[in-house]
Chain A
Amino acid sequence: MTTSRKRFTAPQRLLHWLMAICILTMLFIGVGMVSTITSKYLTLVQIHKPLGIAILVLALIRLGLRIFYGAPALPADLPEPIKLAANLSQYIFYALMIGMPLIGWGMLSAASYPVVLFGSVHLPSILPLSPSLHTLLWRAHHYLAFAFFAFILMHVAAILFHKLIRNDGVFEAMAPALTRDEPK
């Protein structure tokens, strides 16, 4: 769905940049925590779980806004394969933003770990104790995390390409600048 706006709405832009920070933090925490046995391990794990759930909630809100407000059209002169990649990447990002927290939650549930958000606030278990489910979800969580980071790198490279080489307004559509939308 597209809109005649040239830019995403302010709430969409805000969510994009807020989530960019959250998700990058999350990926670095994830890959860092499994590489250490110091007390940082526990601190990182304690951030990883509530932050993951926060990302899930934000992603669902964002999906709602995306369906409601749509997205500005891509530049008309953009080659078709790049348009396809751009559209596909949005589906991939939404799937990962919503899927990764759910997979993590399911993985903890399948191992019968309590899912502690903070203090005495727990989430319910969403799966029964199962080594096979745990293994499947653990592997998915692990490999999709690297895929997620790779997609983010591609996303960053692509937007810099739009800004620095094509300067075609695609970056401006999501730019964090606090300017008003131009009149339609």
Chain B
Amino acid sequence: MAEPSTSPGTFRLKPLLIIATVVVVAAVAFAYTAGWLSPHRLTPKKLVAALAPPGGPALGYRRNHAKGICFTGTFEANGDGSALSKATVFERGQYPVVGRFNLGTADPKAADAMVRVRGIGIRITPPDGQEWRSAMIDAPIFAVSTPQGFYELQTASGSKEPDAMKNFIAAHPEFTGFLGWVKGAPWTESYAEERYNGLNSFLFVDSAGTTHAVRWSLVPSAQPVPITPDELAKRGPDFLEQEITQRVAAGPQRWTMVVTVANPGDPTADPTKAWPSDRRTVEVGTLTVQQIEPERDGPCLNINFDPTVLPSGIATSDDPFPAARSAAYSRSYNSRTAEASYYPGSGAKQ
């Protein structure tokens, strides 16, 4: 054992400087990693904050797709997906589903006719616990190519600058494709009549270890009935929830899950780019919605439909959105569950 080299009380500056330097360098490295020294880093906090309406977010609700209604049902896999992915969810069988129909708005009280984008979140749970969660929308392509672009879209659409949207579109010409859908595609009168598209590209891994770049959609068996937004508005602000409740009470509603397989070279990193329509598709199963439940106290309320909760056999691709969505959804979930007492009628002051 070393002997003390100096007698107590001898003041030496150099060791203290070394100690201070080590501590400060470590603390600065930590602060840098945390993003505190990088105000321009697009953090989940910034991305989620950009979604909030001018008056601030609706406490206790999802920060986007805030208006919604729960359902339960099943996913019946026909076994054909197993050729593409070893995920157990594609093995022939019937697996329970918890899901949520929703509107793409941060305002849980928005009138149905004011919201262009409709969505669905599903969680399929095979018996081995290899869950698959997915959140899809009815648009056939996404609005922007990158998460940064999505942030800029939120910032521009919330901006008071008269030219904000014009400047945004100039910087993001890919947005015009989405705008074409917004303006041109017919509206439908029911959540049951929508085709929901995953838009993001994922990789299916088959039992031989081969990967296949895919996107998936839920194709409704109900025939779409077009309706104008004006006509929808006349039916009431919450017509879609009332309609789906009645429709499912009268009989289960079904969607076919269709997986589209990319050809080599198809764009997987950009959800604004649709793949050519001749690509191979595989029907992997049927989603059956059997029961609608109000979101309050419903089975979907405290579920985060994080699109990166994937079974072994499905993986993320070079598409940058699933990671960004996962980070943002987590932020939204942490905020809203901490605000659970604000959710109307929650009863549980927590």
Contact = CB atoms under 8 A, between A and B. Distances in A.
Interface string A140-161: 0000000001000100110011
A70 to B, nearest CB: 17
A120 interface: yes
A149 B30 contact: yes
B215 to A, nearest CB: 18
Given A35-B35, A37-B42, A132-B348, A153 B131 contact: no
A150 to B, nearest CB: 9
Interface in A64-119: 111-114, 119
Given A31-B30, A35-B43, A111-B337, A160 B18 contact: yes
Interface stretch (B170-178, B182-190, B279-287, B321-329): B321-329
A75 to B, nearest CB: 9
A160 B15 contact: yes
Interface residues of A, number: 45
Contact of B18 (A111, A112, A164): A164
A10 interface: no
Contacts of A6: 1
A171 B338 CA distance: 43
A165 interface: yes
B23 A156 contact: yes
A167 B5 CA distance: 7
B323 A37 contact: yes
A112 B308 contact: no
B153 to A, nearest CB: 14
Contacts, number: 134
B4 A168 contact: yes
Interface in A28-45: 28, 31-42, 45
Contacts of A34: 43-44, 327, 331
Contacts of B324: 37-38, 41
Interface string B291-312: 0000000000011101011011
Nearest to A72: B1
> Could you tell me the dominant secondary structure of chain A's interface residues?
helix
Contacts of B303: 112
A176 interface: no
A169 B12 contact: no
A157 B322 contact: no
A122 B130 CA distance: 8
Contact of B131 (A114, A134, A135): A114
B320 interface: yes
Contacts of B331: 34
Contacts of B312: 119-120
A167 B129 contact: no
30 contacts: A31-B30, A32-B34, A35-B33, A37-B323, A41-B326, A42-B326, A45-B326, A114-B131, A129-B302, A131-B338, A131-B340, A131-B348, A132-B340, A132-B350, A134-B302, A135-B340, A138-B337, A139-B338, A156-B22, A160-B15, A160-B22, A161-B15, A165-B6, A165-B15, A165-B16, A166-B4, A167-B5, A169-B1, A169-B2, A182-B1
Interface of B: 1-6, 12, 15-16, 18-19, 22-23, 26-27, 29-30, 33-35, 41-44, 47, 128-131, 147, 302-304, 306, 308-309, 311-312, 316, 318, 320, 322-324, 326-328, 331, 333-334, 337-338, 340, 348, 350
Given A40-B323, A41-B323, A42-B322, 12 more contacts: A31-B34, A35-B44, A36-B35, A111-B302, A120-B312, A131-B340, A134-B337, A138-B337, A153-B27, A161-B15, A165-B12, A172-B2
